[in-house]
Amino acid sequence: MKFEVWDEMSFAPPAMKVLHVIPSVALYRGGPSVVIRAITRGLARQGIETHVATTDDNKPAPLEVPLGRPVEEDGITYHYFPSQTRFYLCSLPFTNWLWSCAGKYNVIHIHAVFSYCSNVAAWIAYCKRVPYIIRPLGVLNRWGFENRRPVLKRLSFALIEKSLLGRAAAVQYTTEQERDEAADLKFAHYPVVIPNPVDLPDAGNVRQGEFRAQYPELTGREIVLFLSRIDPKKGIDLLLPAFRDVLRKDAAVTLVIAGDGDPSLVRNLRRMASELGIEGSVLWPGFLTGSKRMAAFADADIFVLPSYSENFGMAPVEAMRMGIPVVVTDQVGIHKEVSEGRAGIVTPPAIAPLASALTLLLQEAGLRLEMGRNGARLAAARYSVDTVAGRLIDLYGTLCSQPVPRAIQ
């Protein structure tokens, strides 16, 4: 596949109006819900009229939001629609609305694939001749195709998503690794790499010590922080035995696993910690948002994400922005940036290398400080909201001003 190069001198036409379609903005869905808010805030700040169409998906009950009419939030217009199903998030009212309103937008930016709203948005945009972009959120990666409903996913891709991606004006990947893994599927499309932005509006509202104060058992102990969804691909099954090995050399450290997930998976992981004899050194504070999330970052000594697959890695970028050294696997999309920027340590997804990396950083306070400073500079320069918004505006301008070249199979 041949990758075309974007004209970096392009810019958005005046009075541009962009619709973002995402199946859910519920925070329990993890990174995508955080990223969409950062993207749209950045675009609105730079004068783009920004709309978001989504569903009322949430748990345990739907979001309490007005349905079927525009809602203004932080200078962005949201359109919420009821979802009839939890799986696939089908919404017929969304379909009716978009069919009548799609032509009012210059560009439709779709976030997700293998979802009803995403597929319908791509089809309607194609029918209405509105250029559309798809950001696949990492689900085209190898791990996802091998471990998440592989038969159903390959069938759906062959029948539906492949043609929708091929018709897109562009497919936005967030890292080169995500783009390269998607190329294994051998479908013709126009790829562009633009990272996710990181916006930490609550960072200024916390002080060091607030998180520790909530948990007296953290007194006098260093903190290794995992903060993400609890999911099989996140590698917690590697992290727990690796942390057991860390404790053999440094007993004054606590692993904080902040997040939630499938209750049966959480039970199994807590049982694993007990069987490893480390349950007294592992804290499970649950899902953290807002200032509580920032407080956990502020008190962490090291951040760790031992994923088997990660198209980007929002949480480690947030940690870098907060000046925390990170340990990530070479399956996390930003691992090259972490390594080249000396913002942390990159390991394979295996127990012994993870344990060695964590032990080294715990023993070397000066190295932690140096890597934390490097990461803060990297995150501010590469992943700021304004930087990413500017690149997206250039992309939108290109789509509106000229035909988009296709990848050549």
Q: In CATH, what number does 204-382 get?
A: 3.40.50.2000
Every domain of the chain with CATH number 3.40.50.2000 lies at 17-197+385-401, 204-382
Give the pLDDT score at 402.
61
- Give mean pLDDT in consecutive 10-residue pieces for the chain, a chain of 409 residues: 37 79 94 95 97 96 95 96 92 98 97 97 96 96 88 95 96 97 93 95 82 95 98 98 97 97 97 98 96 95 98 96 98 98 99 99 98 97 96 95 49
The answer for residues whose C-beta is within 8 angstroms of residue 234's C-beta and 6 or more apart is 226, 228, 305, 306, 307, 308
- Which token pair is 269? 């992981």
> Crossing angle of helices 263-275/236-247, nearest 10°?
20
Give the pLDDT score at 258.
98
pTM for this model (two decimals): 0.91
**Alpha carbon 286 to chain centroid, angstroms:** 19
CATH class of 17-197+385-401: alpha beta
Which residue from 318, 311, 256 is spatially nearest to 286, judged by alpha carbons? 256
Instruction: Tell the residue number behind the tokens 């917690």, with chain if given.
Output: 236
Instruction: Tell the residue number behind the tokens 């959480």, with chain if given.
Output: 266
Cα–Cα distances in angstroms (integers) from residue 88 to residues 112, 137, 287, 295, in the given order = 11, 15, 23, 34
Give the pLDDT score at 403.
61
Using CA atoms, how far apart are residues 95 and 35, in angstroms rounded to an integer?
24
Cβ neighbourhood burial of 291 (10 Å; 0-12, 13-18, 19+):
middle
Cβ neighbourhood burial of 88 (10 Å; 0-12, 13-18, 19+):
middle
As beta bridge partners, residue 328 has 305, 346
CB atoms within 10 A of CB 78: 20
